[in-house]
Chain A
Amino acid sequence: MNSPRLMDALWTVGTRDLLAALRHRADLLTTLVFFAIVASLFPLGVGSDTALLRLMGPGVVWVAALLASMLALTRLFASDYGDGTLEQLALSPHPLTLLVLAKTGAHWLASGLPLVIIAPLLGLQFDLNADAQLVLLASLLLGTPTLSLIGAVGAALTLGVRGGGALLSLLVLPLYVPVLIFGAGAVEASAAGLDAGAHLSLLGALLLVALVFAPWATAVSVRIAVE
């Protein structure tokens, strides 16, 4: 298979998902509202003490982003699995690893990137300073693609399985721990006036590791699902 055709196929698979997401804007909105609600629940639970909220802010925004991105994961393969598109992809002569990578990329653009963009608004609720806000943006920008990549494995594994949604969270959330630690850690460090560079480098390293392993595992899982 020559490479222009492959690029064409990857581009088409990505744009197909973006187009479908665009025509289902309500889903995107649900994810964003969920993100905002989860983050807003914490002050209601622990009280409105500004000093405490400032301390908790980075962690809360990151946990909320993580949960929201997990909520969106079920949409990554479910409709393709239901209407037979996924088995057609599995039968494409193009490498399935790259096809699912294109799908994951489109999914991140449609559900991860909007989270990153509205995160500073939630940061304001927790009184993060300007530097911390910038680091929050950078950490989410580096971290949420990793969440989508790891989550794609779980989403493919739970296709057509009983209790898929709850099972997906059980599979995926423990794997999200390092991203959460370095992501929230970066913002905390910056809020405390320290350098967040090390955290961000580690987030970048996690993204690279996920880019190498996750699409492969996702492709294997998709093949298992369409058997």
Chain B
Amino acid sequence: MLAIKNIECVRGERRLFSDLSFEAASHTLLEVRGPNGSGKTSLLRNLCGLLPPAAGIIEWRGNNIHMFADEYRSELAFLGHLSGVKDELTASENLRMSSVAAGLGASPDQIHAALVHFGLRDFRDSLCKALSQGQRRRVALARLCLSAARSLWILDEPFTALDAAALVVIKDLLESHLETGGTVVLTTHQEVAIAARVTRRVDLGQ
């Protein structure tokens, strides 16, 4: 369970939010909402441990995520604004290398299946600089197929630049992860209905 206790976030001179507390257990979808500049991305970076909050603590399974950083990271899958897809590598190289670097097992079969799942069968050996924005996003999202064992998924705007077909794929992926006991935290500007046992919303910028 992810527990956020009275955290505060300051970027530069601006206090984005303060005294923010919430929890997300397994089977929970947590949607972070708010206008541009309200601190959604900063909150997500707080949650995944990239950005230490100015005050307050974040706990995962009762442990402070900064004290037990390695354990936390081995249960976490994060997808940020930036896809982490390298132009010079092919789609399958990208997926394999980013998964192995993230400590995920990635057999050739799994890589192939994940790319096929996201409709990239014909592009798996194309250099990513030749791919469209949406296709690169799919390469990045395909890593989630290999991250089923990671309980906590934190996704910053996962639906941007995706077409209807890819939206269905990612929606199914998120729903099955939630159904098998995972936790998903995401921000989005699109209304995508995702079925979950528990859906919570955090509104920033009020």
Q: Do chains A and B touch in the complex (CB under 8 A)?
A: yes
B30 sits at the interface (CB 8 A): no
B89 sits at the interface (CB 8 A): yes
B103 touches A88 (CB 8 A): no
B84 sits at the interface (CB 8 A): yes
Which of A13-21, A126-134, A161-169, A174-182 is the contact stretch? A13-21
Residues 63-119 (chain B) with a chain A CB within 8 angstroms: 70-71, 73-74, 76, 78, 80-89, 93, 96-98, 100-103, 105
A79 sits at the interface (CB 8 A): yes
Q: How far is the CA of A59 from the CA of B161 in the complex (A)?
A: 54
Q: How far is the CA of A93 from the CA of B72 in the complex (A)?
A: 8
Residues 49-80 (chain A) with a chain B CB within 8 angstroms: 79-80
B49 sits at the interface (CB 8 A): yes
Q: How far is the CA of A79 from the CA of B82 in the complex (A)?
A: 12
Name the residue of chain A whose CB is nearest to the CB of B85: A83
Name the residue of chain A whose CB is nearest to the CB of B127: A23
Give the shortest distance, in Å, between A222 (CB) and chain B (any CB): 11
Query: What residues of chain B lie closer than 8 Å to A12, measured between beta carbons?
Result: 96-97, 100-101
A91 touches B49 (CB 8 A): yes
B89 touches A91 (CB 8 A): no
B84 touches A85 (CB 8 A): yes
B45 sits at the interface (CB 8 A): yes
Which of B52, B81, B100, B102 gathers most chain A CB within 10 Å? B100
A83 touches B102 (CB 8 A): no
Query: What residues of chain B lie closer than 8 Å to A93, measured between beta carbons?
Result: 70-71, 73-74, 102-103
B166 sits at the interface (CB 8 A): no
The answer to whether residues A9 and B101 also contact, given A20-B89, A227-B50 and a CB cut-off of 8 A, is: yes
B101 touches A99 (CB 8 A): yes
- 1/0 per residue A160-199: CB within 8 Å of B? 0000000000000000000000000000000000000000
B198 sits at the interface (CB 8 A): no
The secondary structure that dominates the B interface is: loop
User: In which size bucket is the chain B interface?
Assistant: 20 to 34
A91 touches B85 (CB 8 A): no
A16 touches B97 (CB 8 A): yes
Q: How far is the CA of A94 from the CA of B105 in the complex (A)?
A: 13
Query: What residues of chain B lie closer than 8 Å to A95, measured between beta carbons?
Result: 70
Query: What residues of chain A lie closer than 8 Å to B51, measured between beta carbons?
Result: 227
B2 sits at the interface (CB 8 A): no
Query: What residues of chain B lie closer than 8 Å to A79, measured between beta carbons?
Result: 86
Give the shortest distance, in Å, between A20 (CB) and chain B (any CB): 4
Query: What residues of chain A lie closer than 8 Å to B78, measured between beta carbons?
Result: 87-88, 91
Q: How far is the CA of A85 from the CA of B100 in the complex (A)?
A: 13
Query: What residues of chain B lie closer than 8 Å to A226, measured between beta carbons?
Result: 50
- Find B84's partner among A19, A88, A99 (CB 8 Å cutoff): A88
B48 sits at the interface (CB 8 A): yes
Q: How far is the CA of A19 from the CA of B96 in the complex (A)?
A: 13
Name the residue of chain A whose CB is nearest to the CB of B51: A227
A45 sits at the interface (CB 8 A): no
Give the shortest distance, in Å, between A218 (CB) and chain B (any CB): 16
The answer to whether residues A1 and B88 also contact, given A87-B80, A93-B103 and a CB cut-off of 8 A, is: no
B48 touches A84 (CB 8 A): no
B50 touches A87 (CB 8 A): yes
Could you give 19 example pairs across A and B, Cβ below 8 Å?
Answer: A1-B70, A1-B74, A5-B103, A9-B101, A16-B89, A20-B89, A82-B82, A84-B80, A84-B81, A85-B84, A85-B86, A87-B78, A87-B80, A87-B84, A91-B48, A91-B73, A93-B103, A94-B103, A227-B50
Report, nearest first, the 7 A-B pairs whose CB atoms are least far apart: A84-B82, A93-B74, A84-B84, A20-B88, A12-B100, A93-B73, A88-B84
* B interface, CB within 8 angstroms of A: 45, 48-52, 70-71, 73-74, 76, 78, 80-89, 93, 96-98, 100-103, 105, 127
